[in-house]
Protein backbone atom coordinates (compact mmCIF):
# COMPACT_ATOMS: atom_id res chain seq x y z
CA UNK A 1 0.00 0.00 0.00
CA UNK A 2 3.00 2.31 -0.34
CA UNK A 3 4.00 5.04 -2.75
CA UNK A 4 6.37 4.03 -5.57
CA UNK A 5 5.66 6.14 -8.68
CA UNK A 6 6.74 5.05 -12.16
CA UNK A 7 9.20 7.94 -12.51
CA UNK A 8 11.06 6.74 -9.41
CA UNK A 9 11.08 3.17 -10.69
CA UNK A 10 12.61 4.28 -14.00
CA UNK A 11 15.47 6.07 -12.21
CA UNK A 12 16.14 3.17 -9.84
CA UNK A 13 16.07 0.62 -12.69
CA UNK A 14 18.53 2.75 -14.68
CA UNK A 15 20.95 3.08 -11.76
CA UNK A 16 20.82 -0.63 -11.00
CA UNK A 17 21.43 -1.47 -14.67
CA UNK A 18 24.55 0.76 -14.75
CA UNK A 19 25.92 -0.88 -11.57
CA UNK A 20 28.12 1.97 -10.27
CA UNK A 21 30.42 1.23 -7.33
CA UNK A 22 28.76 4.07 -5.43
CA UNK A 23 26.67 7.20 -5.94
CA UNK A 24 27.49 10.69 -4.68
CA UNK A 25 24.31 12.76 -4.83
CA UNK A 26 24.60 16.56 -4.88
CA UNK A 27 21.76 17.88 -2.75
CA UNK A 28 21.21 20.81 -0.42
CA UNK A 29 18.47 21.87 1.92
CA UNK A 30 14.89 20.66 1.69
CA UNK A 31 11.55 21.96 2.91
CA UNK A 32 10.81 18.50 4.35
CA UNK A 33 13.48 18.40 7.09
CA UNK A 34 16.41 20.22 8.65
CA UNK A 35 19.00 17.99 7.01
CA UNK A 36 21.58 19.61 4.73
CA UNK A 37 22.55 17.85 2.60
CA UNK A 38 19.46 15.68 2.57
CA UNK A 39 19.70 12.01 1.50
CA UNK A 40 18.53 11.55 -2.09
CA UNK A 41 17.82 7.83 -1.75
CA UNK A 42 16.69 6.08 1.44
CA UNK A 43 15.67 2.59 0.36
CA UNK A 44 16.73 -0.63 2.03
CA UNK A 45 16.03 -2.54 -1.17
CA UNK A 46 18.53 -0.38 -3.10
CA UNK A 47 21.95 -1.95 -2.60
CA UNK A 48 24.24 0.58 -4.31
CA UNK A 49 26.03 2.70 -1.66
CA UNK A 50 24.81 6.31 -1.71
CA UNK A 51 26.40 9.38 -0.12
CA UNK A 52 25.07 12.94 -0.17
CA UNK A 53 27.21 16.05 -0.69
CA UNK A 54 26.12 19.64 -0.18
CA UNK A 55 25.84 21.24 -3.62
CA UNK A 56 27.25 24.48 -2.19
CA UNK A 57 30.50 22.70 -1.32
CA UNK A 58 30.93 20.86 -4.61
CA UNK A 59 32.20 23.81 -6.75
CA UNK A 60 35.21 24.12 -4.45
CA UNK A 61 36.27 20.51 -5.02
CA UNK A 62 34.91 19.88 -8.52
CA UNK A 63 38.31 19.95 -10.23
CA UNK A 64 39.73 17.40 -7.79
CA UNK A 65 36.73 15.11 -8.18
CA UNK A 66 36.57 15.21 -11.97
CA UNK A 67 40.29 15.10 -12.75
CA UNK A 68 41.56 12.52 -10.29
CA UNK A 69 40.69 9.11 -8.94
CA UNK A 70 39.00 9.48 -5.57
CA UNK A 71 38.41 7.20 -2.63
CA UNK A 72 34.96 7.24 -1.03
CA UNK A 73 34.43 5.97 2.50
CA UNK A 74 30.84 5.69 3.79
CA UNK A 75 30.72 4.93 7.50
CA UNK A 76 27.48 3.00 7.69
CA UNK A 77 26.09 -0.39 8.62
CA UNK A 78 22.88 -2.38 8.67
CA UNK A 79 21.81 -4.23 11.81
CA UNK A 80 19.21 -7.00 11.87
CA UNK A 81 17.18 -6.58 15.04
CA UNK A 82 13.87 -7.67 16.54
CA UNK A 83 11.35 -4.96 17.37
CA UNK A 84 7.76 -4.97 18.55
CA UNK A 85 4.57 -3.23 17.49
CA UNK A 86 2.48 -2.39 20.54
CA UNK A 87 -1.33 -2.26 20.33
CA UNK A 88 -3.41 -1.24 23.35
CA UNK A 89 -7.10 -2.06 22.94
CA UNK A 90 -10.20 -1.15 24.92
CA UNK A 91 -13.37 -3.01 23.97
CA UNK A 92 -16.98 -2.15 24.72
CA UNK A 93 -20.14 -4.18 24.43
CA UNK A 94 -22.24 -3.74 21.29
CA UNK A 95 -19.46 -1.80 19.54
CA UNK A 96 -20.24 0.27 16.45
CA UNK A 97 -16.67 -0.17 15.21
CA UNK A 98 -13.11 0.68 16.21
CA UNK A 99 -11.49 4.10 16.52
CA UNK A 100 -7.70 4.14 16.19
CA UNK A 101 -5.54 6.83 17.79
CA UNK A 102 -1.96 6.61 16.56
CA UNK A 103 1.39 8.39 16.48
CA UNK A 104 4.72 7.05 15.30
CA UNK A 105 7.07 6.38 18.21
CA UNK A 106 10.35 6.16 16.28
CA UNK A 107 12.62 8.94 15.09
CA UNK A 108 15.58 9.41 12.79
CA UNK A 109 19.10 8.86 14.07
CA UNK A 110 21.08 11.81 15.48
CA UNK A 111 18.03 13.68 16.74
CA UNK A 112 16.08 13.95 19.99
CA UNK A 113 12.88 13.78 17.93
CA UNK A 114 11.01 16.13 20.26
CA UNK A 115 8.63 17.54 17.65
CA UNK A 116 8.86 14.53 15.35
CA UNK A 117 7.39 12.67 17.04
CA UNK A 118 7.65 12.63 20.83
CA UNK A 119 5.03 15.39 20.74
CA UNK A 120 2.60 13.11 18.93
CA UNK A 121 3.18 10.21 21.32
CA UNK A 122 2.61 12.50 24.32
CA UNK A 123 -0.69 13.65 22.81
CA UNK A 124 -1.76 10.07 22.08
CA UNK A 125 -1.11 8.94 25.66
CA UNK A 126 -2.78 11.99 27.20
CA UNK A 127 -5.84 11.62 24.96
CA UNK A 128 -6.13 7.94 25.90
CA UNK A 129 -6.73 8.98 29.52
CA UNK A 130 -9.72 11.13 28.61
CA UNK A 131 -11.63 8.81 26.27
CA UNK A 132 -15.00 7.86 27.73
CA UNK A 133 -16.99 6.56 24.77
CA UNK A 134 -19.00 3.38 25.26
CA UNK A 135 -19.94 3.15 21.57
CA UNK A 136 -16.61 2.31 19.93
CA UNK A 137 -13.71 0.02 20.62
CA UNK A 138 -10.46 1.98 20.96
CA UNK A 139 -7.02 1.00 19.67
CA UNK A 140 -4.01 3.04 20.83
CA UNK A 141 -1.18 2.37 18.37
CA UNK A 142 2.35 3.83 18.72
CA UNK A 143 3.53 2.91 15.23
CA UNK A 144 7.09 1.65 14.94
CA UNK A 145 9.46 2.24 11.97
CA UNK A 146 7.45 5.04 10.30
CA UNK A 147 10.62 7.00 9.62
CA UNK A 148 12.25 4.20 7.65
CA UNK A 149 11.95 2.48 4.31
CA UNK A 150 10.26 -0.65 5.69
CA UNK A 151 7.30 0.38 7.89
CA UNK A 152 6.86 -2.96 9.61
CA UNK A 153 4.71 -1.44 12.34
CA UNK A 154 2.03 -0.45 9.83
CA UNK A 155 2.21 -3.81 8.09
CA UNK A 156 1.88 -5.73 11.37
CA UNK A 157 -1.15 -3.67 12.40
CA UNK A 158 -2.78 -4.05 8.99
CA UNK A 159 -2.30 -7.81 9.26
CA UNK A 160 -3.78 -7.77 12.76
CA UNK A 161 -6.83 -5.96 11.41
CA UNK A 162 -7.20 -8.54 8.65
CA UNK A 163 -7.01 -11.47 11.05
CA UNK A 164 -9.35 -9.97 13.64
CA UNK A 165 -11.76 -8.63 10.99
CA UNK A 166 -11.96 -5.32 12.82
CA UNK A 167 -13.89 -2.53 11.15
CA UNK A 168 -12.02 0.76 11.50
CA UNK A 169 -14.58 3.54 11.79
CA UNK A 170 -12.02 6.33 12.27
CA UNK A 171 -8.24 6.73 12.49
CA UNK A 172 -6.66 9.79 14.14
CA UNK A 173 -2.95 10.25 13.39
CA UNK A 174 -0.85 12.75 15.36
CA UNK A 175 2.47 13.68 13.75
CA UNK A 176 4.72 16.66 14.63
CA UNK A 177 2.49 18.88 16.75
CA UNK A 178 2.77 21.55 19.45
CA UNK A 179 5.52 23.63 17.85
CA UNK A 180 6.06 26.77 19.93
CA UNK A 181 4.22 29.70 18.34
CA UNK A 182 1.98 27.54 16.16
CA UNK A 183 -1.54 26.18 16.40
CA UNK A 184 -2.88 22.68 15.80
CA UNK A 185 -3.96 21.93 12.24
CA UNK A 186 -6.48 19.19 11.48
CA UNK A 187 -7.19 17.70 8.05
CA UNK A 188 -10.08 15.37 7.23
CA UNK A 189 -10.18 12.45 4.80
CA UNK A 190 -13.14 10.36 3.53
CA UNK A 191 -15.91 11.96 5.62
CA UNK A 192 -19.37 12.77 4.29
CA UNK A 193 -20.79 16.29 4.44
CA UNK A 194 -22.79 15.72 7.62
CA UNK A 195 -19.78 14.29 9.44
CA UNK A 196 -17.61 17.18 8.21
CA UNK A 197 -20.10 19.67 9.64
CA UNK A 198 -20.01 17.90 13.00
CA UNK A 199 -16.20 17.92 12.98
CA UNK A 200 -16.14 21.63 12.11
CA UNK A 201 -18.43 22.34 15.07
CA UNK A 202 -16.05 20.46 17.39
CA UNK A 203 -13.06 22.32 15.93
CA UNK A 204 -14.73 25.70 16.37
CA UNK A 205 -15.37 25.01 20.06
CA UNK A 206 -11.82 23.78 20.72
CA UNK A 207 -8.78 25.82 21.77
CA UNK A 208 -5.99 26.44 19.22
CA UNK A 209 -7.46 24.02 16.65
CA UNK A 210 -7.54 25.24 13.04
CA UNK A 211 -8.23 23.74 9.64
CA UNK A 212 -5.11 22.40 7.91
CA UNK A 213 -4.02 21.10 4.53
CA UNK A 214 -3.93 17.33 3.93
CA UNK A 215 -0.60 15.60 3.39
CA UNK A 216 0.24 11.94 2.96
CA UNK A 217 3.79 11.21 4.20
CA UNK A 218 2.64 9.46 7.38
CA UNK A 219 0.98 6.42 8.92
CA UNK A 220 -2.51 7.56 7.96
CA UNK A 221 -1.81 7.35 4.22
CA UNK A 222 -2.39 3.61 3.76
CA UNK A 223 -5.73 3.94 5.54
CA UNK A 224 -6.74 7.07 3.60
CA UNK A 225 -6.06 5.34 0.28
CA UNK A 226 -8.15 2.39 1.47
CA UNK A 227 -11.16 4.65 2.11
CA UNK A 228 -11.01 4.80 5.92
CA UNK A 229 -12.12 8.02 7.61
CA UNK A 230 -9.00 9.72 8.93
CA UNK A 231 -8.10 12.85 10.86
CA UNK A 232 -4.52 14.10 10.57
CA UNK A 233 -3.24 16.46 13.27
CA UNK A 234 0.03 18.37 12.84
CA UNK A 235 1.56 21.78 13.55
CA UNK A 236 -0.13 24.64 11.69
CA UNK A 237 3.29 25.88 10.56
CA UNK A 238 4.53 22.45 9.51
CA UNK A 239 5.54 23.61 6.02
CA UNK A 240 6.39 27.17 7.07
CA UNK A 241 9.32 26.50 9.37
CA UNK A 242 8.50 23.62 11.70
CA UNK A 243 9.93 20.91 9.44
CA UNK A 244 13.25 22.74 9.27
CA UNK A 245 13.95 21.46 12.81
CA UNK A 246 13.11 17.81 12.16
CA UNK A 247 15.32 14.80 11.41
CA UNK A 248 18.39 16.60 12.78
CA UNK A 249 19.96 17.65 16.12
CA UNK A 250 17.89 20.86 16.20
CA UNK A 251 14.69 18.96 17.12
CA UNK A 252 14.83 19.52 20.89
CA UNK A 253 12.25 19.75 23.66
CA UNK A 254 12.42 23.54 23.95
CA UNK A 255 10.52 23.67 20.63
CA UNK A 256 7.48 21.93 22.17
CA UNK A 257 4.61 23.86 23.79
CA UNK A 258 3.13 21.65 26.52
CA UNK A 259 -0.13 23.62 26.56
CA UNK A 260 -0.71 22.78 22.90
CA UNK A 261 -0.29 19.10 23.77
CA UNK A 262 -3.13 19.49 26.27
CA UNK A 263 -5.26 21.37 23.70
CA UNK A 264 -4.98 18.70 21.04
CA UNK A 265 -5.59 15.87 23.51
CA UNK A 266 -8.80 17.63 24.59
CA UNK A 267 -9.84 17.99 20.94
CA UNK A 268 -9.28 14.28 20.27
CA UNK A 269 -11.36 13.35 23.32
CA UNK A 270 -14.20 15.58 22.11
CA UNK A 271 -14.15 13.90 18.70
CA UNK A 272 -14.01 10.34 20.04
CA UNK A 273 -16.56 10.89 22.81
CA UNK A 274 -19.08 12.94 20.82
CA UNK A 275 -18.95 12.20 17.09
CA UNK A 276 -21.60 10.13 15.35
CA UNK A 277 -20.21 8.22 12.37
CA UNK A 278 -22.75 7.11 9.82
Residue 208 has pLDDT above 60, yes or no: yes
pLDDT digits (tens, 9 = 90+) for 178-197: 999 999 999 999 999 999 99
The domain 88-274 is placed in CATH, from the list 1.10.287.70, 3.40.630.10, 1.10.3720.10, 3.40.50.300, at 3.40.630.10
pTM: 0.91
- The phi and psi torsions of 99 (rounded to 5 degrees) equal -105, 130
Average pLDDT, the chain: 93
Residue 42 has pLDDT above 90, yes or no: no
pLDDT digits (tens, 9 = 90+) for 106-137: 999 899 999 999 999 999 999 999 999 999 99
- The phi and psi torsions of 157 (rounded to 5 degrees) equal -70, -40
**DSSP letter, residue 167:** -
Any idea which of 19-33, 72-86, 125-139, 155-169 has the lowest mean pLDDT?
72-86
pLDDT value at position 221? 92
Cα–Cα dist 52/39, whole Å: 6
Q: What angle, 0 to 180 degrees and rounded to 10, lies between the N-to-C axes of helices 119-130 and 258-274?
A: 40
Domain layout of the chain by residue ranges: 6-67, 88-274
Amino acid sequence: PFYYPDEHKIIIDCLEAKKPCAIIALTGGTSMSGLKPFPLIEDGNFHIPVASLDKDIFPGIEDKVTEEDIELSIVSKNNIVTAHQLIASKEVSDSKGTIVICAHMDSKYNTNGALDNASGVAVMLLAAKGIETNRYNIDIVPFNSEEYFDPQGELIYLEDLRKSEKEISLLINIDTVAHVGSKLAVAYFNFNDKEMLELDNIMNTSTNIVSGQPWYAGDHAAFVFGGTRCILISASDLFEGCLSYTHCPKDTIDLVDEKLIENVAEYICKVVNDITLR
